[in-house]
Amino acid sequence: MQPGPCEIEIQYTALSYIAPEKIQFKYRLEGFNNGWVDAGQRRFAHYAGLPPGDYRFQVIACNNDGVWNTTGAVYSFRLPPRYYQSAWFRVLMAALVAGLAGAGYQLKVHRVQARDRELQRRVAERTAELAEANAALVGEVEQRKLAQKKSEELQEQLMSASRKAGQAEVASNVLHNVGNVLNSANISTSLLADRLRRLDVNNLAEAAGIIEQTLAPGRAPGDRARRLPKYLRQLGGYFDQERNGMVAELKGLAQNIDHIKEIIAFQQNYTQVAGVLEKVAVSDLLDSVLRMYAPSYQKHGIDVVREYQPAPQALLDRHKLLQILINIVDNARHACDASRHSRKSVAARIGPRGPDRIVISIADNGRGIAAEDLTRIFSHGFTTRENGHGFGLHGSALAARQMGGSLTAASDGPGRGATFILELPLTPPSTDTPA
């Protein structure tokens, strides 16, 4: 028999000489089906697809009398399995499958472990990267903090420099005005000295000689003696005139000296009140600035017009307000000086704005400001003047901001004058830190 599934036919027979056609058969295949198969008179058994194994084919027959021979005939055979149906093969296969499964499992475990290791490596890598980034970030934050601190320090230094420049600007303006007044005082004194030098007192001695000659005994008054009274009257008139002139000059000199005293007092006041908040009548302060500038304005032929509306007193740092006003009034003079306007004038205005603010404006008809310079003029060091510094407006705008207000400029353009507008709160904001 060949290995593998098998189709077999087993033929059998029984001998009977009497009635062979009446012989009946039954058969069974032990190992496949233990039940008897009634085959009738058929003399073969057919099996298809028998699995490998050991079989025992048994066939019995009955004769024409219906008597069964229960012994029958037996044929044992074996259907050998194909190799893959063999037990060893199955065992081998099972072992192989188990081995493969084991190997697969091992592989999987290995892979999982490898993935795990890779994951751990990546986590470690990421962690290291993050730590590095974190360290960099911390470093950057530190650097930023340092830069911020430096920037704040620089800002503070700049503010302090601006403040000092502003104070220096004011001091220089004040000194300039003192210089102006001193100049006219100087002119007055030399004029007086001149006049005194030219005062002709010799004529008096000559007149006395003529009188002496006339009064001598036996002398008739001559022509000269007769003209003497008229001459003396003329001399009196001359002395009178000179005296009046010199008195007027002295009065001017005294006024100048008073003005110098006033300016010095103003400057002392300015330096003393720095950083203190006090109730101030803004119009008084503006007046004192305009008074200080009066000789200078007069000298340059500038008219001053005051238009003050009633406004409440403001609580503010007088020092800062003076700094701003001096700068604007000084700039207005320079602007008028630089224009060819025949009637130079400056209008100083004060008025309330809303319930809690005040506006001071100084308008001149001077050289004007080009539109593109309207904001640039407030930057540190911007100047168009030959002897200018460009500190005044920068410091003034800064001071206005510190007071919770603003300083702005308006102009219709070159040659058409300019207006500086200072707006201030009547009470400073709580954040105002007096400097």
Query: Which residues contact Mg ion (rule: CB under 5 A)?
Result: 331, 392
Question: Which one, 409 or 424, has the nearer CB to ligand ADP?
Answer: 409
DSSP 159-176: HHHHHHHHHHHHHHHHHH
Question: Which one, 390 or 405, has the nearer CB to ligand ADP?
Answer: 390
The bridge status of strand 33-40 relative to strand 68-79 is unpaired
Binding residue for ligand ADP (CB under 6 A) from 82, 176, 233, 385?
385
CA 191 to chain centre: 62
Written as six digits, the tokens of 418 are: 């300019």
Using rule CB under 6 A, residue 384 touches ligand ADP: yes
Report the residue number whose CB is nearest to Mg ion.
392
**Measured from the CB of residue 391, what is the shortest distance to Mg ion in angstroms?**
7
How many Å is the Cα radius of gyration of the chain? 66
Are 416 and 370 contacting, i.e. CB atoms less than 8 angstroms apart? Answer: no
**Measured from the CB of residue 417, what is the shortest distance to ligand ADP in angstroms?**
7
Question: Which one, 144 or 300, has the nearer CB to Mg ion?
Answer: 300
Using rule CB under 6 A, residue 296 touches ligand ADP: no
CA distance linking residue 90 with residue 87, whole number of Å: 5
Binding residue for ligand ADP (CB under 6 A) from 79, 367, 426, 428?
367
Residues 162-221 that bind ligand ADP (CB under 6 A): none
Using rule CB under 6 A, residue 390 touches ligand ADP: yes
CA distance linking residue 30 with residue 295, whole number of Å: 149
**Residues of the chain by 3-state class (helix, strand, coil), percent to 5:** 55, 20, 25
Judged by CB under 6 A, the stretch of 138-146, 240-248, 375-383, 425-433 that binds ligand ADP is: 375-383
Tell me the C-alpha to C-alpha distance, in Å, between residue 359 and each of 163, 235, 305, 312, 407. Answer: 23, 60, 16, 11, 10
CA 357 to chain centre: 29
Binding residue for ligand ADP (CB under 6 A) from 366, 405, 425, 428?
366
The 10 Å Cβ neighbour count of residue 7 is 9
**Measured from the CB of residue 346, what is the shortest distance to ligand ADP in angstroms?**
9
**Measured from the CB of residue 364, what is the shortest distance to ligand ADP in angstroms?**
5
Tell me the C-alpha to C-alpha distance, in Å, between residue 10 and each of 13, 77, 126, 340. Answer: 10, 11, 79, 146
**Measured from the CB of residue 326, what is the shortest distance to ligand ADP in angstroms?**
10
Tell me, residue by residue from 316 to 355, as one string, x for binding to ligand ADP by CB under 6 A and - for no binding: -----------x---xx--x--------------------
Sheet holding 53-62, edge to edge: 33-40, 24-30, 53-62, 68-79
Are 324 and 407 contacting, i.e. CB atoms less than 8 angstroms apart? Answer: yes
Binding residue for ligand ADP (CB under 6 A) from 34, 41, 64, 383?
383
Binding residue for ligand ADP (CB under 6 A) from 369, 400, 424, 426?
369
Using rule CB under 6 A, residue 252 touches ligand ADP: no
**Measured from the CB of residue 172, what is the shortest distance to ligand ADP in angstroms?**
10
CA distance linking residue 105 with residue 107, whole number of Å: 5
Cα torsion 134, 139, 142, 144: sign: negative
Are 374 and 419 contacting, i.e. CB atoms less than 8 angstroms apart? Answer: no
Binding residue for ligand ADP (CB under 6 A) from 418, 422, 424, 426?
418
**Measured from the CB of residue 376, what is the shortest distance to ligand ADP in angstroms?**
8
Tell me, residue by residue from 391 to 410, as one string, x for binding to ligand ADP by CB under 6 A and - for no binding: xxxx----------------
Please give the residue ranges that form the binding site for ligand ADP (CB under 6 A): 327, 331-332, 335, 364, 366-369, 377, 382-385, 388-394, 418
